[in-house]
Amino acid sequence: MALWGNNDAVGSGGTVSLDYSTGVVTGTATTFGNVGAAATGDVIRFGNRAGTYYGDAVIVGIASTTQLTIGSTAGLSGVAIAGTEFRVSQLPKYTVLDYSFSAANDADETASTIYVGVSTGFAGIATDIIPVVIPAASGFTPAPVKVGDVMVNDGNNLFISDIGTSTITLGSTISAGISTSDALTFKRYSAGYDKYAYGVAAIGASVASGTAFETGVGWVGVTTYRDNQGNLRVKKEILVAMSGITTGNTPLYPPA
In this structure, the answer to whether residues 19 and 86 fall within a common structural domain is yes
- Which domain, by its residues, includes 143? 110-190
Q: 123-142, pLDDT tens digit by residue?
A: 999 999 999 999 998 777 78
pLDDT for 229 beyond 60 = no
Residue-level length of the chain: 256
Q: Kindly state whether residue 183 falls inside one of the protein's structural domains.
A: yes
pLDDT for 95 beyond 70 = yes
Q: 38-47, pLDDT tens digit by residue?
A: 999 999 999 9
pLDDT at position 227:
65
Question: What's the rounded Cα separation, in Å, for the pair 98 and 124?
Answer: 41
Q: 107-123, pLDDT tens digit by residue?
A: 556 778 999 999 999 99
Label residue 37 by pLDDT band (50, 70, 90). very high
The stretch 164-173 carries a mean pLDDT of 94
Question: What's the rounded Cα separation, in Å, for the pair 194 and 152?
Answer: 21
In this structure, the answer to whether residues 234 and 205 fall within a common structural domain is yes
Contact criterion met (CB below 8 Å) for 45 and 77: no
Work out the number of other CB atoms within 10 angstroms of the CB of residue 154: 10
Q: Kindly state whether residue 1 falls inside one of the protein's structural domains.
A: no
Q: Kindly state whether residue 168 falls inside one of the protein's structural domains.
A: yes
Q: Kindly state whether residue 56 falls inside one of the protein's structural domains.
A: yes
Q: Kindly state whether residue 35 falls inside one of the protein's structural domains.
A: yes
Q: 75-86, pLDDT tens digit by residue?
A: 898 889 999 999
In this structure, the answer to whether residues 96 and 152 fall within a common structural domain is no
Domain finish residue from 175, 190, 205: 190
Phi, psi values for residue 184, rounded to 5°: -120, 125
Q: What is the CATH number of the domain that holds 159?
A: 2.40.30
In this structure, the answer to whether residues 162 and 137 fall within a common structural domain is yes
Count the domains in the chain: 2
In this structure, the answer to whether residues 25 and 132 fall within a common structural domain is no
Q: 192-228, pLDDT tens digit by residue?
A: 677 888 999 998 899 899 988 999 999 999 888 766 5
In this structure, the answer to whether residues 177 and 198 fall within a common structural domain is no
pTM score: 0.65
CA angle 169, 171, 174 (to 5 degrees): 80
